[in-house]
Amino acid sequence: MDTYERLWNGWRAAYVGSVPANQPPPGSVFTAILESGLSDEESNIVHRGRKVFVILNAFPYATGHMLVMPYREIADLEDLDAEESDEMWLTVTDAVRTVKAAYQPGGVNVGINLGRPAGGSVSEHLHVHVVPRWIGDGNFMTAIANTRTLPEALVDTAARLRAAWPR
Protein backbone atom coordinates (compact mmCIF):
# COMPACT_ATOMS: atom_id res chain seq x y z
CA MET A 1 0.00 0.00 0.00
CA ASP A 2 1.32 3.43 -0.91
CA THR A 3 1.54 6.05 1.77
CA TYR A 4 1.15 9.76 1.09
CA GLU A 5 2.24 12.71 3.17
CA ARG A 6 -0.45 15.35 3.49
CA LEU A 7 -0.16 18.90 4.67
CA TRP A 8 -3.45 20.78 5.01
CA ASN A 9 -3.55 23.93 2.89
CA GLY A 10 -7.09 25.25 3.34
CA TRP A 11 -6.44 28.33 1.22
CA ARG A 12 -5.85 26.14 -1.87
CA ALA A 13 -9.59 25.51 -2.38
CA ALA A 14 -10.23 29.20 -3.11
CA TYR A 15 -7.19 29.36 -5.42
CA VAL A 16 -8.14 26.24 -7.38
CA GLY A 17 -11.79 27.29 -7.51
CA SER A 18 -10.89 30.68 -8.98
CA VAL A 19 -10.41 29.16 -12.47
CA PRO A 20 -13.64 28.00 -14.16
CA ALA A 21 -13.85 24.22 -14.61
CA ASN A 22 -13.24 22.82 -18.10
CA GLN A 23 -12.02 26.19 -19.37
CA PRO A 24 -8.25 26.39 -19.47
CA PRO A 25 -7.22 30.03 -19.21
CA PRO A 26 -5.76 31.65 -22.33
CA GLY A 27 -2.02 32.04 -22.01
CA SER A 28 -0.17 31.66 -18.76
CA VAL A 29 -1.66 31.52 -15.28
CA PHE A 30 -0.29 35.05 -14.79
CA THR A 31 -2.17 36.34 -17.85
CA ALA A 32 -5.31 34.59 -16.56
CA ILE A 33 -4.93 36.33 -13.19
CA LEU A 34 -4.44 39.72 -14.87
CA GLU A 35 -7.54 39.17 -17.03
CA SER A 36 -9.66 37.69 -14.22
CA GLY A 37 -11.02 40.95 -12.88
CA LEU A 38 -9.92 39.97 -9.37
CA SER A 39 -8.66 42.76 -7.12
CA ASP A 40 -4.98 42.94 -6.20
CA GLU A 41 -5.93 41.75 -2.72
CA GLU A 42 -7.74 38.69 -4.10
CA SER A 43 -4.94 37.84 -6.53
CA ASN A 44 -2.02 38.65 -4.19
CA ILE A 45 -0.59 41.27 -6.53
CA VAL A 46 1.82 43.29 -4.42
CA HIS A 47 2.71 46.11 -6.84
CA ARG A 48 1.66 47.40 -10.26
CA GLY A 49 3.94 49.51 -12.41
CA ARG A 50 3.47 50.83 -15.94
CA LYS A 51 5.08 47.84 -17.70
CA VAL A 52 5.62 45.24 -14.95
CA PHE A 53 3.90 43.95 -11.83
CA VAL A 54 4.77 41.94 -8.74
CA ILE A 55 2.75 39.00 -7.46
CA LEU A 56 3.31 36.50 -4.67
CA ASN A 57 4.32 33.02 -5.71
CA ALA A 58 1.29 30.80 -4.98
CA PHE A 59 3.71 27.98 -4.08
CA PRO A 60 6.43 29.92 -2.26
CA TYR A 61 9.84 28.58 -1.27
CA ALA A 62 9.70 30.96 1.70
CA THR A 63 7.31 33.55 3.12
CA GLY A 64 7.62 36.70 1.01
CA HIS A 65 8.54 34.90 -2.25
CA MET A 66 7.62 37.38 -5.01
CA LEU A 67 7.61 37.19 -8.80
CA VAL A 68 8.41 40.29 -10.87
CA MET A 69 7.23 40.17 -14.50
CA PRO A 70 6.04 42.19 -17.46
CA TYR A 71 2.32 42.45 -18.12
CA ARG A 72 3.11 41.33 -21.66
CA GLU A 73 3.37 37.55 -21.89
CA ILE A 74 6.83 36.79 -23.29
CA ALA A 75 9.10 33.85 -22.61
CA ASP A 76 12.60 35.21 -23.11
CA LEU A 77 14.62 37.91 -21.42
CA GLU A 78 15.83 39.25 -24.75
CA ASP A 79 12.20 39.84 -25.83
CA LEU A 80 11.74 42.64 -23.28
CA ASP A 81 11.62 46.06 -24.86
CA ALA A 82 13.87 48.78 -23.40
CA GLU A 83 11.14 50.27 -21.17
CA GLU A 84 10.12 46.84 -19.83
CA SER A 85 13.73 45.92 -19.14
CA ASP A 86 14.47 49.17 -17.29
CA GLU A 87 11.32 48.92 -15.19
CA MET A 88 11.81 45.20 -14.55
CA TRP A 89 15.24 45.65 -12.97
CA LEU A 90 14.21 48.74 -10.99
CA THR A 91 11.22 46.77 -9.69
CA VAL A 92 13.38 43.76 -8.79
CA THR A 93 15.55 46.15 -6.74
CA ASP A 94 12.44 47.58 -5.05
CA ALA A 95 11.20 44.04 -4.33
CA VAL A 96 14.51 43.21 -2.63
CA ARG A 97 14.31 46.43 -0.58
CA THR A 98 10.71 45.62 0.34
CA VAL A 99 11.31 42.06 1.46
CA LYS A 100 14.33 43.19 3.51
CA ALA A 101 12.25 45.91 5.20
CA ALA A 102 9.25 43.67 5.84
CA TYR A 103 11.00 40.47 6.95
CA GLN A 104 14.66 41.21 7.74
CA PRO A 105 15.94 38.03 6.06
CA GLY A 106 19.57 36.99 6.36
CA GLY A 107 19.82 36.95 2.55
CA VAL A 108 17.80 37.10 -0.65
CA ASN A 109 17.86 34.87 -3.75
CA VAL A 110 17.09 36.62 -7.05
CA GLY A 111 16.80 34.39 -10.09
CA ILE A 112 15.25 33.55 -13.44
CA ASN A 113 14.57 30.13 -14.94
CA LEU A 114 14.54 30.55 -18.72
CA GLY A 115 12.73 27.63 -20.35
CA ARG A 116 11.23 24.48 -18.91
CA PRO A 117 14.56 22.56 -18.85
CA ALA A 118 15.99 25.33 -16.65
CA GLY A 119 13.23 24.78 -14.09
CA GLY A 120 10.68 27.29 -15.37
CA SER A 121 7.26 25.95 -14.38
CA VAL A 122 5.50 28.82 -16.20
CA SER A 123 8.15 29.25 -18.85
CA GLU A 124 5.86 31.05 -21.32
CA HIS A 125 5.68 34.15 -19.06
CA LEU A 126 9.07 35.56 -18.06
CA HIS A 127 9.36 36.23 -14.33
CA VAL A 128 12.10 37.00 -11.81
CA HIS A 129 11.98 35.27 -8.41
CA VAL A 130 12.78 37.31 -5.29
CA VAL A 131 13.04 34.91 -2.35
CA PRO A 132 14.00 35.92 1.21
CA ARG A 133 16.28 33.43 2.96
CA TRP A 134 17.25 32.75 6.56
CA ILE A 135 19.84 30.47 8.12
CA GLY A 136 18.02 27.21 8.81
CA ASP A 137 14.98 27.94 6.61
CA GLY A 138 15.52 24.58 4.91
CA ASN A 139 14.68 22.74 8.13
CA PHE A 140 13.94 19.07 8.83
CA MET A 141 10.47 19.28 7.20
CA THR A 142 12.08 20.09 3.84
CA ALA A 143 14.88 17.54 4.24
CA ILE A 144 12.91 14.66 5.78
CA ALA A 145 9.27 15.12 4.71
CA ASN A 146 9.83 16.91 1.38
CA THR A 147 7.42 19.57 2.70
CA ARG A 148 7.76 23.31 3.19
CA THR A 149 6.17 25.00 6.16
CA LEU A 150 5.00 28.61 5.87
CA PRO A 151 4.02 30.54 9.00
CA GLU A 152 1.84 33.15 7.27
CA ALA A 153 -1.13 33.12 4.87
CA LEU A 154 -0.48 34.59 1.40
CA VAL A 155 -3.06 37.35 1.90
CA ASP A 156 -1.23 38.48 5.05
CA THR A 157 2.15 38.32 3.30
CA ALA A 158 0.84 40.42 0.38
CA ALA A 159 -0.58 43.07 2.75
CA ARG A 160 2.71 43.22 4.67
CA LEU A 161 4.75 43.62 1.47
CA ARG A 162 2.37 46.25 0.03
CA ALA A 163 2.74 48.27 3.25
CA ALA A 164 6.55 48.10 2.99
CA TRP A 165 6.77 48.85 -0.77
CA PRO A 166 8.85 51.99 -1.50
CA ARG A 167 6.66 54.95 -2.43
Write out the catalytic residue numbers.
127
Instruction: Please count the other Cβ atoms lying within 10 Å of the Cβ belonging to residue 75.
Output: 16
Alpha-carbon gap, residue 39 to 29, rounded angstroms: 16
Alpha-carbon gap, residue 140 to 105, rounded angstroms: 19
Q: Would you list the DSSP string of 101-153?
A: HHH--SEEEEE---SGGGT-TTTTS--EEEEEE-TT-S-HHHHHHS----SS-
3-state secondary structure of 78: helix
User: Would you say how long the chain is, in residues?
Assistant: 167
The closest of 49, 71, 45, 70 to 58, measured between CA atoms, is 45
* Packing angle, helices 154-164 and 82-103, rounded to 10: 100
